[in-house]
Amino acid sequence: MIVAIAINTIIEWLDGCEGTNRLERVLWIDAKGKETVVLELFNPKALPVWKDVAEIEKAFSDGLAIKRISESIYHPSSA
């Protein structure tokens, strides 16, 4: 299964228990589509992080991450 990654894509990393999964937003993708910059959501101390697109695609195919449409329903203050 191929999941398209684009700017503003929200990735939910399935780290274990529900409610503790980490959400990241794709901020930038290089012209070749090989590297991306992501930022963890709901972490006021988060800094942008470089990631390989292949790493993210593998996480999708292995079931370690999923693509989300909106982060608003996952905001910690709404839990």
d(CA 58, CA 49): 18
Give the pLDDT confidence score for residue 18 in this predicted structure. Answer: 61
Q: Which strands, in side-by-side order, build the sheet including 35-40?
A: 49-52, 35-40, 22-29, 10-13, 65-68
Of the candidates 77, 66, 69, which has an alpha carbon nearest to the alpha carbon of residue 22?
66
Please state, as a whole number, how many other Cβ atoms lie within 10 Å of the Cβ of residue 68.
18
> For 4-12, what is the mean pLDDT?
93
pTM: 0.81
Domain spans of the chain?
Answer: 10-71
Q: pLDDT digit string (tens) for 22-65? A: 999 999 999 999 999 999 999 999 999 999 999 999 999 999 99
